[in-house]
Chains A and B, each alone.
Chain A
Amino acid sequence: MTTSAPAQTDVSATRSRVPQYVMYGVGLAVLLAAPFFVYPLFLAKVLCYCLFACAFNLLLGSVGLLSFGHAAFFGSAAYVAGHALKEWGLPFELAALIGTGAAGLLGFVFGYVSIRRQGLYFAMITLALAQMVYFLAFQLPFTHAEDGLTAIPRGKVLGLFDLNDLYVLYYTTAAVFVAGYILISRITNSTFGQILKAIRENQPRMISLGYRVNTYKLVAFVLSAALAGLAGATKTMVVQLASTVDVHWATSGDVILMALLGGVGTLFGPVVGAGIVEMLQFYLADSGLPIQMVIGAIFIVCILVFRRGIVGELQRLRGG
């Protein structure tokens, strides 16, 4: 069962009045200037979740597969990278690489069994598999159960710059985010991405045309998992912590909300959604309001009346 959520739009569509590269130029400028206006550590953390949401949306927007257990990839990479940073003393680039690789590997294993079922079954299976990872996080020795991995050192990036300098931290994270975003954008607009879209629209037809749809879906799954892992590894470096929260089902739910709120059918939507959800969590932390109530309410409202999400609605208003 493929979703009928709007497919990711071609970023290079020339119908928009303001050229894409101007929009991206503005975005880049904002990205570069931001740490001078907002606390860089908070921004860096948000960017990690932005990347996480974009990675998740690669699967949902392009292929139409809703993974309900993406926290497994985010969190396992967080643990692996954290371990690499803390116990093995590796530099950030290597730790991030290893974390990404671990997430990709997990993505391959999980994807291999999940891809066989469609739509709703797929979502249920991913959640159940992620739950396994959650339980493992309490039991494996290197994850330190409820305590998690704490006081993870940041080390240096490229052997030169000290990541404890918040500006270095921020710009490194921003670089990771931008690289990830560009990669996702390229994948979405490539031939591979078009094939994924075609599979999502009419899988039986693609099968009859000779495409090995399961292979394509699996590759997309692994890419999505690996990039989610990259986000998780980077997050670990930023907040110096990896814990069971990172692999909890609520985190999987959060990233779905980020994509939904921002706009599943868009590339930039998840970034907006992640920003909003992270800000919400920050501001609600001290209020008496349980975050579940707010998240739940937003979910319900979005599903009922706001399915295109913020960026999706903006695009529609622009006639895009």
Chain B
Amino acid sequence: MSMQVLFGQLLVGLINGSFYALLALGFAIIFGLLGIINVAQGTFYMIGAFSAWMLLNYAGIGYWPALVLSPLITALIGMAVERALISRIYKLDHIYGLLLTYGLMMFIMGTFIFFYATAGRPYPVPADLLGGYNLGFMFLPKYRAWVVVVSIALCVATWFVIEKTPVGRNLRAATENPMLTRAFGINVPALLTFGFGLGVALAGLAGVLAGPIYTVSPLMGGELVIVVFAIVVVGGMQSIFGAVVTGLSFGVLEGLTKVVYPKGSNLVIFIVMFIVLLVKPAGLFGQEK
């Protein structure tokens, strides 16, 4: 086992872990605030990637503006969906929320397949991020380093917004006690819409980052959300820290397994989840009510 291979796979693992972390973070925010399992989280990841592709191919708008525009577009679509569909079922058992977002995922995926078929479309690495660094024990492509750095920066920024700003304070209050928070004059329904938009924007951003690495296709993100499920079951949904750390760890774990026992790399995450469930049913960081 050469150093190159090991670190190469670790990098891939870190990148996947970054995407897992971003998706899990958005997912946890949505679940905490709305109580909804957003099965369509992977679909919004796809929407983020596709909108970047569309911006480039239809409007000539490149990667750097897309980094801002695509998450925005994703957020707008998400907020529209929350207002039109999801908000209608808050009063019901939350299992219906899961089923609704599953239906949403299928419908959106199907619509994209209808217009764009399933083949992957390439999205170029931005010129500024071509090439890489030779570190001796491995070659580090600039773009991939960028992805990891941006993802972690986004997670930190999200943490900052939630923990240190008035909006974040309102979000936390609405998560803990929505009715009382309304009694303090805060428009919680609007906050829920915003929260959903924020949660899916994180997924959309991950999609833009993923574009140049994986091809852009309507099938993107379908299997990703199942990993997100495993992450929140293991890491607990109570803390941003838990979601992000578990997401990154799972990515790295996958990467390592690919080196040691490639056939097991798909399975290792779920095996870990299985073991955690046996040993610590409430998850590693969480306390479930």
In the complex, what's the smallest C-beta–C-beta distance from B209 to chain A, in angstroms?
24
Chain B 266-289 interface 0/1 with A at a Cβ cutoff of 8 Å (1 = within): 110011011001100100000010
The answer to whether A129 touches B226, judged by C-beta atoms less than 8 angstroms apart, is no
A96-149 at interface with B (beta carbon < 8 Å): 113-114, 116-117, 119-121, 123-125, 127-129, 131-132, 135-136, 139
The answer to whether B105 touches A296, judged by C-beta atoms less than 8 angstroms apart, is yes
CB neighbours of B278 from chain A (8 A): 113
CB neighbours of A256 from chain B (8 A): 99, 102
Secondary structure at chain B's binding surface: helix, strand, loop or mixed? helix
CB neighbours of B104 from chain A (8 A): 296, 300
With A and B bound together, what is the CA distance between A307 and B288 in angstroms?
28
CB neighbours of A296 from chain B (8 A): 103-110
The answer to whether B103 touches A303, judged by C-beta atoms less than 8 angstroms apart, is yes
CB neighbours of A33 from chain B (8 A): none
The answer to whether B233 touches A128, judged by C-beta atoms less than 8 angstroms apart, is yes
CB neighbours of B93 from chain A (8 A): 1-5, 119
Q: Does A164 contact B (CB under 8 A)?
A: no
With A and B bound together, what is the CA distance between A135 and B254 in angstroms?
14
The total of interchain contacts (Cβ-Cβ below 8 angstroms) comes to 132
The answer to whether B103 touches A113, judged by C-beta atoms less than 8 angstroms apart, is no
In the complex, what's the smallest C-beta–C-beta distance from A234 to chain B, in angstroms?
27
The answer to whether A253 touches B106, judged by C-beta atoms less than 8 angstroms apart, is yes
Stretch at the interface among A168-176, A272-280, A283-291: A283-291
Chain A 231-268 interface 0/1 with B at a Cβ cutoff of 8 Å (1 = within): 00000000000000000011001001000100000000
The answer to whether B106 touches A1, judged by C-beta atoms less than 8 angstroms apart, is no
CB neighbours of A117 from chain B (8 A): 233, 277, 281, 288
The answer to whether B233 touches A300, judged by C-beta atoms less than 8 angstroms apart, is no
With A and B bound together, what is the CA distance between A44 and B92 in angstroms?
37
CB neighbours of A128 from chain B (8 A): 226, 229-230, 233, 270, 273
Q: How large is the interface on A (under 10, 10 to 19, 20 to 34, 35 or more residues)?
A: 35 or more
The answer to whether A113 touches B107, judged by C-beta atoms less than 8 angstroms apart, is no
Chain B 82-126 interface 0/1 with A at a Cβ cutoff of 8 Å (1 = within): 000100110011111011101111111111011000000000000
In the complex, what's the smallest C-beta–C-beta distance from B103 to chain A, in angstroms?
3
With A and B bound together, what is the CA distance between A181 and B258 in angstroms?
45
The answer to whether B274 touches A295, judged by C-beta atoms less than 8 angstroms apart, is no
Q: Does A297 contact B (CB under 8 A)?
A: yes
With A and B bound together, what is the CA distance between A139 and B261 in angstroms?
13
Query: Residues of A at under 8 Å CB distance from B?
Result: 1-5, 66, 68, 113-114, 116-117, 119-121, 123-125, 127-129, 131-132, 135-136, 139, 249-250, 253, 256, 260, 288-300, 302-304, 307
Query: Can you name 19 A-B residue pairings with CB atoms under 8 Å?
Result: A114-B277, A120-B98, A123-B98, A124-B229, A124-B232, A125-B273, A128-B270, A131-B226, A132-B274, A253-B106, A289-B114, A292-B109, A293-B107, A293-B111, A295-B106, A299-B100, A300-B103, A300-B107, A304-B85
Contacts A124-B233, A131-B270 known; 18 new A-B pairs at CB < 8 A: A4-B93, A66-B99, A119-B93, A120-B95, A123-B98, A124-B230, A125-B277, A127-B229, A128-B233, A136-B267, A250-B106, A256-B102, A293-B110, A296-B110, A300-B100, A303-B96, A303-B100, A307-B96
Sorted nearest first, the 9 A-B pairs with minimum C-beta distance are A299-B103, A296-B107, A293-B110, A296-B106, A292-B110, A124-B229, A290-B110, A135-B266, A113-B277
